[in-house]
Structure 1
């Protein structure tokens, strides 16, 4: 049995919330422990948003409960009317996160048959203790940046491998089916890496740098174009001159497939192939015409593949200097 960091933080925050609530002689101190348990999330940012949402939710719940219990009485009917009014109101004000917790605290008003300031203060103190200890223990989060950086290197290595194999397939034609599978694996790995980058970003309360999220988004878009290039390559017969030119570009791209590459040299090389393409004799048969059209489409996809990287580099170059 493995006990994770989040489990330890949850246990400690709940226990301390209960201990402090008991020491302060608050009514229903166990509620503070439950609130702490429910408020400790995966990231600092989400814990903060959850805590704030629950405090506002309790304020709304108390106001509605005050009206219902004052005019109907402290009974089941009043509690039912309270829920009919509170739930849609919380959803409208985007406070859904606090519906259950706030409603549990409202039952304390019902049990005590009281809505005095002392009891209202008691409920807010329970909420503040639970949320506060959850936030306190979420101040420590393991640094995920090393994992994210490692994922970047893995993804770049996988792209290089596919580009090299694409170049080899031009010299010695073979089925690209296995390369398509590799491309899908890259896409899946990028999705997982994006989730890791999201957690990294949300563990910074003030400076929330989206660089890594944007990086993985850029690679995800490139993986989509790479898949289309592979599918088109299966149907295209490339003449020897164009085969050498495209193979050289693929190998150059593989050799320089790094985070810092601005993509401009690759785009210039593609433009040279375009120019060579335009000077070729016109196709004489329908088959040649269709093949030439597929080659042109392949170059367009390759160009878009590199423009994605060039745009990303331009957007973020100042951030990584």
Structure 2
């Protein structure tokens, strides 16, 4: 039997909140442990949002329950009237996580048939201990950044391999295996994006969307790569026409990286495009169609690099703004 970190944190949060509640003499002390169990989230932000939502919902529930029990008594009718108003309010204000937990605490008012300040304080302390220990133990989370960086490097390597393979496939009738390679690369990107989202959710004091935006950019690039692979299989031109393109693709495969801003490659693409414009006009329809596919391929390639160039520029601007805010 394997015990994960979340299991251990849940058990410890339940134990501590229940023991402290008993030590300070709170009524219904075990409820603090149950609240802790239900409040340990997958991320720091999730635990914090859940804790705040439950404290707010308890305040709303206490007011509603007071009037409901005063009108219909401390029984099933009064509790039902409370729910009639409480559930729609929590749904409207996105506090539904607190419906069950808060309603359990409301039953304490019903059982004690009282809304004495000491009892109200008792319920808020039970809630505070449960969500407090859950949040405290969730402050420790494994750092996913090194794992994300490893995934980035594997993705970069995958793109480099694709470009080198496309260079070798020019003027061939097919780019064998590259589409399935793209699918595998896309799966890795999606997995990396999930880790990036988890990483961002554990940053309480800052919002750093770099990794999520990086994986989103690479995902968009894969779609363009698939278009390029499809076009390669349809391009059949004189070898002299693809020499410059082959050099360009090889160079891209050798230099593509997270830090590369793409500007140098964009200039090379423009030079290759201009050289094609200076070539003699096509002699027949077939040559015209192949030349058109070649231009389409170059434009798609340019769109691929422009995605990275825009991403790099936006991240650079954001970093500059961050430095200005510090100083």
Provide the TM-score with structure 1 as the length reference: 0.94
1:1-321 matched pairs, under 5 angstroms: 1-170=1-170, 173=172, 175-317=174-316, 319=319
Shift of 1:277: 2.1
Provide the TM-score with structure 2 as the length reference: 0.93
Task: Work out the CA distance in 2 between the residues paired with 1:248 and 1:108.
Answer: 76
- Coordinate RMSD, CA, aligned: 1.8
Taking a change above 3 Å as real, the CA distance of residues 124 and 292 of structure 1, as seen in their structure-2 partners, is: same
Tell whether the 8 Å contact from 1:242 to 1:273 is kept in structure 2 after alignment.
Answer: no
Task: Work out the CA distance in 2 between the residues paired with 1:226 and 1:294.
Answer: 15
> What is the number of residues matched between the two proteins?
320
The gaps in structure 1 that reach 5 residues or longer are none
The gaps in structure 2 that reach 5 residues or longer are none
SS at match of 1:283: coil
SS at match of 2:8: helix
Per-residue CA deviations over 1:127-152 (Å, capped at 9, x if unaligned) read: 10000001111111111111111111
Tell whether the 8 Å contact from 2:163 to 2:249 is kept in structure 1 after alignment.
Answer: yes
Tell whether the 8 Å contact from 2:237 to 2:287 is kept in structure 1 after alignment.
Answer: no
Taking a change above 3 Å as real, the CA distance of residues 121 and 252 of structure 1, as seen in their structure-2 partners, is: same
Task: Work out the CA distance in 1 between the residues paired with 2:103 and 2:286.
Answer: 72
Per-residue CA deviations over 1:256-302 (Å, capped at 9, x if unaligned) read: 11111110111011101211222233334333333222222211110
- Segment of structure 1 superposing worse, 289-298 or 68-77: 289-298
Shift of 1:174: 5.1
Taking a change above 3 Å as real, the CA distance of residues 297 and 72 of structure 1, as seen in their structure-2 partners, is: same
Task: Work out the CA distance in 2 between the residues paired with 1:119 and 1:225.
Answer: 63
- Segment of structure 1 superposing worse, 39-48 or 290-299: 290-299
